[in-house]
């Protein structure tokens, strides 16, 4: 038995070798070898189309109007006439200061005015030559008393502290019985107008210059109004659309950015001052844009963008391209590709420059080039 086992192994090895030789003689190749014929690839035909371009910029909300309410008269607060955290309208009375001293001053001024007017009537009936000086004095006295009445009326009106603007009112810093003084530093309360509301976003000065040069060169149509959409902190899109109001005239030296301000309707008070948002700003429309699916664009060792197209001779042609931004699943190509090019988006792992390919229209979803999503700057 021992002898039989020693002779079985050489027989098996010899059989395997003979089988391999027979396979080679028949022209066969072991499994896993390189494939025969051109590589099979899928392509999309590029075209020029109008594409809206946007920039997604970080920002924060800020109140449209803010007013600190301070007294303009001295006195004791008799009553507070608003609900903290509620909405008030311009002219609504917020506090009532004890008006008794001001009412007394007004009554005194009115009495003095009446006396002066009566004296003027008496002097006017006298002979002009004899009473001219007295008449002028009486006229001046009447004017002074009218001014005193007006001043007393103003002070009395100041005893009623009213809302200077409409908006949402905050907490009160005083209660009935507190003594307040005209022009005091501490505000009694603050009113904030929330509808509409500002959104302040920042954009780098380099991007702003690039945008202006694109418009000046005619590659971007920026003649229309600039609508703005908002993405909230929770990722939801704000229902209302805003409009770009203005851009700052100076560049922040510490950040190299420019502030843009947009105005948004805020009827339901969803937006509150200080909220972080992302503003999607319409920059314009690129009238003849070339969109290339991201699946068809690669990077070489230097980091430059490259793409393969099907040449007229049926061979893979490597192109050096320039891309500026993404548009949904696509790259916006500024050079290197043209309308009608057959961009290879499938089977790229088997493609070599100058090698023949067997090309067919792409079948995967990645081969589509939808332009419905606006281009966003990252």
Compare 51 and 250 and report the one with higher pLDDT. 51
How do residues 185-241 score in pLDDT, each as one tens digit? 999 999 999 999 999 988 877 777 776 666 666 555 555 566 889 999 998 999 999
Q: Residue ranges of the domains in the chain? A: 39-52+288-377, 54-64+194-284, 71-97+159-186, 99-158
What is the rounded average pLDDT of the residues 244-251?
Answer: 76
The CB density around residue 53, as the number of other CB atoms within 10 Å, is 24
Q: pLDDT tens digits for 117-170?
A: 888 777 655 555 566 777 777 788 888 889 989 999 999 999 999 999 999 999
Fold (CATH) for 39-52+288-377: 2.40.420
Domain at 71-97+159-186: CATH architecture: Beta Barrel (2.40)
The CATH fold of domain 99-158: Helix Hairpins (1.10.287)
Indicate the Cα dihedral angle 232, 235, 236, 241, nearest 10°: 50
**How far apart are the C-alpha atoms of 3 and 234, rounded to whole Å?**
80
Candidates 55, 75, 68; CA nearest to 170 is 68
Scan for tokens 């089977």, then name that residue.
347
Average pLDDT over residues 332-347: 94
Residue 85 CA to chain centroid, in angstroms?
27
Which of 109-113, 208-212, 243-247 is the most confident on average? 109-113
Residue 216 pLDDT: 67
Q: Which pair of tokens denotes residue 308?
A: 């393969």
Domain over 54-64+194-284 is classified CATH 2.40.30.170 = yes
pLDDT at 126: 57
The pair of three-digit structure tokens given for residue 78, joined into one six-digit string? 């008799």
């Amino acid at each position: 038995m021992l002898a039989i086992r020693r002779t079985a192994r050489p027989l098996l090895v010899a059989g395997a070798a003979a089988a391999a030789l027979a396979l080679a003689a028949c022209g066969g190749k072991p499994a896993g070898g390189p494939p025969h014929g051109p590589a099979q690839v899928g392509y999309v035909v590029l075209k020029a189309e109008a594409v809206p371009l946007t920039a997604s910029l970080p920002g924060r909300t800020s109140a449209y109007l803010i007013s600190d309410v301070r007294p303009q008269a001295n006195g004791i607060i008799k009553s507070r006439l608003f609900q903290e955290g509620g909405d008030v309208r311009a002219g609504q009375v917020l506090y009532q200061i004890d008006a008794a001293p001001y009412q007394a001053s007004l009554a005194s001024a009115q009495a003095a005015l009446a006396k002066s007017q009566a004296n003027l009537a008496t002097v006017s009936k006298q002979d002009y030559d004899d009473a001219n000086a007295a008449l002028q004095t009486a006229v001046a006295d009447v004017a002074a008393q009218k001014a005193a009445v007006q001043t007393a009326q103003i002070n009395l009106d100041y005893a009623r502290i009213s809302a200077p603007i409409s908006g949402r009112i905050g907490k009160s810093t005083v209660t009935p019985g507190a003594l307040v003084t005209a022009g005091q530093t501490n505000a009694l309360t603050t009113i904030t107008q929330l509808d509409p509301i500002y959104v302040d976003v920042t954009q780098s000065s380099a991007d702003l210059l690039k945008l202006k040069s694109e418009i000046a060169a005619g590659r971007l149509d920026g003649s229309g109004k600039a609508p703005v959409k908002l993405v909230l902190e929770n990722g939801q899109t704000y229902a209302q659309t805003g409009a770009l109001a203005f851009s700052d005239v100076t560049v922040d030296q510490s950040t190299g950015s420019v502030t843009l301000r947009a105005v948004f309707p805020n009827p339901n008070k969803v937006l509150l001052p200080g909220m972080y948002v992302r503003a999607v700003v319409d920059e314009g429309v690129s009238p003849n844009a070339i969109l290339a699916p991201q699946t068809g664009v690669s990077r070489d060792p230097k980091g430059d963008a490259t793409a393969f197209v099907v040449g007229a001779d049926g061979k893979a042609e490597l192109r050096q391209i320039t891309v500026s931004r993404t548009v949904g699943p696509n790259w916006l190509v500024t050079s290197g590709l043209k309308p009608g090019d057959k961009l290879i988006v499938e089977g790229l792992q088997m493609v070599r420059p100058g090698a023949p390919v067997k090309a067919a229209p792409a079948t995967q979803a990645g081969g589509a080039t939808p332009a419905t999503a606006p281009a966003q700057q990252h």
